């Protein structure tokens, strides 16, 4: 399968959008504009961009606490995301969710989740709906390497396999769950091998190679729909920033972080590849400028927008 | 007498326990090199090593379950739920196992575990990282529930929880971790006599105010404000929520004739509603001059935005208003 030039530019654009979105958040945080903490996916953009762009709008995703990239990948409006983090009325959750809980149903994002492995069983339920409703769509369930040790991970995989549900389990293995190295936390051969235990075809891929992610997810989606079987992808990647805003990074070396930044950065690598394939610096510059502009105007608009009004929150708690 | 934050006071208590009890160990997520999400276990790994400071995978069910099994076999586990919200992933080992085994097996086993967790709101951590779930555990016979509010009682209550022969849920409000005060570094007690004892923090005649956890600090702020300087309030810190020290409350209410309870948790089926119900059913009922009142969090999940979060959590001003309304 070859990726068209348009798709290539779109993959680059999406990775840039995610990176600049989160860099803007960091900046706002340091200026004291944001209440609470946040989990940045800087360094992991290829997985979110590659996976989400391989889906249709009607395919669903479930996301994690580190979910800004998934949300943008699925087509969310950065303005409404900034507004959410700033507690504004125009935010996706009207200031009730914040960084860790953005849902964007209109674009097929069932929501980020603050509970590790919290979305795995939800994705199974959504896939069951697709099966019952005879829809030709899949649910892509994002989760981290830390989630694979929770009981609900195992319950979800088992049932998805037994019932032949259209789920693509996508583990973003950034090699740490907070301070815990996945090699110290995950018994057995590999994370992908856990899929095999439940009879689910599973592969491990380079999560920092955006085209590899895009192609794997596209292929998996086709196979899920033609064979009526779930699939499992372990995408190996790396987070540059601390786990959240309070991380002192004592559990890893700066050499390790710098190695990934210098040698494996998904955006840098992809730019190199695109230039080799005849896409010009001018093409890329145009995209980058457009993304910068989007971020700049979205931040400004969000800061100028009204706070979420204090409504009757007890009434809001029920449908 | 060192000045310690609540986090440091708990750290000192843990350190003392590990020194004096070779069969004690700590397990939880990121409690080793990271020092715990709130820094409470900072430095313990260096002193006591990986054998006793056990970093676990993210797996609350097995964290609580291993504590139960270890406690039944002469180990003394203290486990950490990084945010107490995640304790819901560990409900079976805590509620169906730890709480029941002593009774169910006819007294043949004890399950002396301490499950610590960071509770409460105020940090913008939103609905899944801000809850005050303590009353859930008060509802379960067999469990004890403890909520410190300051460095000294955090230190003492943890030691007493540790020596108690029962499973203890120890909820540490996130906003108290940084509160500092002088702490007497008492030795490990021979029994858990402090559990089940409320503490009268200030004596007064006009109104009894019962509170626990971080809300005690909000009440302190309210009653020490200039605006309320004329009012003589008796402030009771429950310290242990199960078993409840009703005697101290009833004696106080009989004197002041007024009862106000302040808590961060929502009111339905809560500690505060139980306190009021017990007072109304007691001899103190006839001495009440007006209906008791409960100031509580709203019946709403915790929103992330700051201005909405402060709407859900009772503020000092809400407590002051309630006092003015009652006195
Ligand atoms: C049930 C539960 N336990 C613990 C946590 C605290 N916590 C949040 S994220 C995290 C690490 C998750 O690691 P991983 O799944 O690898 O995702 P990553 O942060 O690396 O993206 C932890 C321990 C939580 N939110 N939920
Ligand atoms: Mg991870």
Report the nearest atom of ligand 1 relative to the CA of A174: 20
Q: Is any ligand 1 atom within 6 A of the Cβ of residue A153?
A: no
Task: Give pLDDT, residue B47.
Answer: 98
CA atoms of A184 and A207, how far apart (whole Å): 20
- Peptide bond connecting A28 to the previous residue in cis, omega within 30 degrees of 0: no
**Chain B neighbours among A 236-275 (CB < 8 Å)?**
246-248, 250-251
Query: For B279-283, which contacts have Cβ atoms below 8 Å and span 24 or more sequence positions?
Result: B279/B246, B279/B249, B279/B250, B279/B253, B282/B246, B282/B250, B283/B250, B283/B254
In words, the CATH class of domain B3-182 is: alpha beta
CA atoms of B7 and B13, how far apart (whole Å): 10
Q: Is any ligand 1 atom within 6 A of the Cβ of residue A66?
A: yes
Q: ipTM value, please give it.
A: 0.94
Nearest in space to B79 (alpha carbons), one of B97, B67, B71: B67
User: What's the predicted TM-score (pTM) here?
Assistant: 0.96
> What would the mean pLDDT of B190-195 be, rounded to a whole number?
98
Task: Give pLDDT, residue A159.
Answer: 98
| A149 CB within 8 Å of a chain B CB | yes
Q: Is any ligand 1 atom within 6 A of the Cβ of residue B86?
A: yes
Report the nearest atom of ligand 1 relative to the CA of A65: 9
Question: Which residues of chain A does B60 touch, with a Cβ-Cβ cutoff of 8 Å?
Answer: 150
| A177 CB within 8 Å of a chain B CB | yes
Q: Is B94 exposed, middle or buried (0-12, 13-18, 19+ CB in 10 A)?
A: buried
Binned at pLDDT 50, 70 and 90, residue B145 comes out as very high
CA A72 vs. chain centroid, Å, equals 8
Q: Do B201 and B224 touch, CB atoms closer than 8 A?
A: no
- DSSP letter string over B228-285? GTT--EEEEE--EEES--HHHHHHHHHHH--EEEEEEEESTT-HHHHHHHHHHTSGGG
CA A165 vs. chain centroid, Å, equals 21
User: For A107-147, where are the E strands, in sequence order?
Assistant: 139-144
Task: Give pLDDT, residue A2.
Answer: 83
Q: Is any ligand 1 atom within 6 A of the Cβ of residue A125?
A: no
Q: Do B141 and B99 touch, CB atoms closer than 8 A?
A: yes
Q: Are B3-182 and B199-326 equal in CATH topology?
A: yes
Nearest in space to B299 (alpha carbons), one of A93, A94, A95, A313: A313
Question: Which residues of chain B does A87 touch, with a Cβ-Cβ cutoff of 8 Å?
Answer: 304-308
| A305 CB within 8 Å of a chain B CB | no
Residue A274 backbone dihedrals phi, psi, to 5 degrees:
-65, -40
Q: Do the Cβ atoms of B124 and A37 come within 8 Å?
A: yes
Query: SS in 3 state form for A193-259?
Result: HHHHHCCCEEEEEECCCHHHHHHHHHHHHHHHHHHCCCEEEEEECCCCCCCCCCCCCCCCCHHHHHH
CA A55 vs. chain centroid, Å, equals 13
Nearest residue, CB atoms, A308 vs list B62, B308, B312: B308
pLDDT of B41 higher than 90:
yes
Nearest-5° Cα angle at A223, A217 to A229: 105
Task: Give pLDDT, residue A1.
Answer: 60
Fold of A5-303: Rossmann fold (3.40.50)
Task: Give pLDDT, residue B278.
Answer: 98
Q: For residue B194, how far is its CA from the centre of ligand 1 (angstroms)?
A: 35
Task: Give pLDDT, residue B274.
Answer: 98
Q: Which residue has the tokens 């120890």?
A: B170
Q: Domain ranges in chain B?
A: 3-182, 199-326
CA atoms of A287 and B200, how far apart (whole Å): 66
Fold of B199-326: Rossmann fold (3.40.50)
Q: Do the Cβ atoms of B298 and A313 come within 8 Å?
A: yes
Residue B260 backbone dihedrals phi, psi, to 5 degrees:
-120, 130
**Chain B neighbours among A 74-133 (CB < 8 Å)?**
86-87, 93, 95-101, 113-118
Binned at pLDDT 50, 70 and 90, residue B176 comes out as very high
CA atoms of B248 and B252, how far apart (whole Å): 6
B202 DSSP β-pair partners? B235
Q: Do B287 and B236 touch, CB atoms closer than 8 A?
A: no
User: For chain B, where are the E strands, in sequence order?
Assistant: 3-5, 24-28, 53-55, 76-81, 114-119, 144-146, 168-173, 180-182, 199-202, 207-211, 233-237, 240-242, 259-266, 293-297
pLDDT of B221 higher than 80:
yes
Q: For residue A115, how far is its CA from the centre of ligand 1 (angstroms)?
A: 7
> What would the mean pLDDT of B300-320 be, rounded to a whole number?
98
Nearest in space to A96 (alpha carbons), one of A149, A164, A36, A145: A36
For chain A, residues with pLDDT lower than 70 are 1
Q: Domain ranges in chain A?
A: 5-303
CA atoms of B114 and B154, how far apart (whole Å): 13
Q: Is A289 exposed, middle or buried (0-12, 13-18, 19+ CB in 10 A)?
A: exposed
Q: For residue A64, how far is its CA from the centre of ligand 1 (angstroms)?
A: 9
pLDDT of B6 higher than 70:
yes
Nearest residue, CB atoms, B59 vs list A35, A96, A149: A149
Residue A181: in which H helix or E strand, if any?
strand A180-181
């Amino acid at each position: 399968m070859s990726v068209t030039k348009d798709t290539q530019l779109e993959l680059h654009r999406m990775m840039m959008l995610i990176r600049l979105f989160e860099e803007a958040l960091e900046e706002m945080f340091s200026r004291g504009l944001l209440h609470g903490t946040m989990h940045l996916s800087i360094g992991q953009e290829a997985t979110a961009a590659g996976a989400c762009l391989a889906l249709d709008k009607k395919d669903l995703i479930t996301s994690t606490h580190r979910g800004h990239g998934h949300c943008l990948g699925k087509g969310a409006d950065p303005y409404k995301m900034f507004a959410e983090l700033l507690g504004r009325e125009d935010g996706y959750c009207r200031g009730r969710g914040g960084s860790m809980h953005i849902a964007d149903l209109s674009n097929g994002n069932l929501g980020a989740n603050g509970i590790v492995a919290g979305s795995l069983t939800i994705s199974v339920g959504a896939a069951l709906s697709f099966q019952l409703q005879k829809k030709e769509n899949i649910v892509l369930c994002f989760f981290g390497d830390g989630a694979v040790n929770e009981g609900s991970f195992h319950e979800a995989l088992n049932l998805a396999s037994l019932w032949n549900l259209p789920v693509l389990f996508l583990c973003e293995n950034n090699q740490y769950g907070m301070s815990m190295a996945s090699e110290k936390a995950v018994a057995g051969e590999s994370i992908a091998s856990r899929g095999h235990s439940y009879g689910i075809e599973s592969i491990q891929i380079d999560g920092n190679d955006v085209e590899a992610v895009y192609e794997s997810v596209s292929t998996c989606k086709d196979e899920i729909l033609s064979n009526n079987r779930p699939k499992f992808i372990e995408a190996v990647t790396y987070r540059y920033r601390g786990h959240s805003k309070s991380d002192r990074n004592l559990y890893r070396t700066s050499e390790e972080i710098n190695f990934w930044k210098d040698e494996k950065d998904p955006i840098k690598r992809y730019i190199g590849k695109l230039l080799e394939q005849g896409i010009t610096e001018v093409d890329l510059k145009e995209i980058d400028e457009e993304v910068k502009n989007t971020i700049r105007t979205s931040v400004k608009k969000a800061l100028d927008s009204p706070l979420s009004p204090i409504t009757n929150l007890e009434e809001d708690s029920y449908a | 007498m060192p000045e310690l934050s609540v986090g440091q006071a708990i750290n000192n208590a843990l350190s003392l326990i590990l020194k004096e009890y070779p069969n004690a160990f700590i397990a939880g997520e990121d409690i080793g090199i990271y020092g715990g999400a709130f820094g409470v276990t900072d430095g313990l790994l260096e002193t006591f090593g990986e054998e006793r400071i056990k970093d676990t995978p993210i797996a609350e069910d097995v964290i609580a379950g291993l504590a139960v099994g270890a406690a039944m076999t002469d180990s003394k586990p203290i486990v950490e739920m990084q945010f107490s919200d995640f304790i819901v992933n560990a409900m079976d080992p805590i509620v169906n196992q730890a709480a029941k085994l002593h009774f169910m097996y006819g007294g043949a086993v004890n399950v002396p575990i301490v499950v610590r967790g960071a509770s409460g709101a105020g940090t913008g951590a939103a609905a899944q990282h801000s809850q005050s779930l303590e009353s859930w555990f008060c509802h379960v016979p067999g469990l004890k529930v403890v909520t410190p509010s300051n460095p000294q009682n955090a230190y003492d209550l943890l030691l007493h929880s540790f020596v108690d022969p029962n499973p203890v849920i120890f909820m540490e409000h996130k906003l108290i971790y940084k509160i500092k005060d002088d702490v007497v570094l008492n030795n490990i007690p021979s029994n858990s006599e402090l559990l089940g004892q409320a503490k009268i923090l200030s004596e007064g005649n006009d109104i009894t105010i019962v509170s626990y956890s971080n809300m005690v600090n909000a009440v302190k702020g309210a009653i020490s404000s200039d605006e309320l300087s004329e009012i003589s309030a008796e402030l009771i810190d429950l310290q242990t929520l199960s078993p409840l020290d009703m005697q101290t409350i009833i004696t106080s209410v009989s004197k002041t004739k007024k009862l106000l309870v302040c808590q961060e948790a929502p009111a339905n089926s809560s500690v505060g509603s139980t306190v009021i119900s017990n007072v109304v059913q007691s001899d103190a009922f006839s001495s009440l001059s007006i209906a008791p009142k409960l100031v509580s969090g709203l019946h709403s999940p915790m929103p992330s935005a700051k201005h909405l979060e402060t709407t859900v959590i009772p503020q000092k001003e809400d407590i002051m208003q309630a006092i003015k309304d009652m006195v």
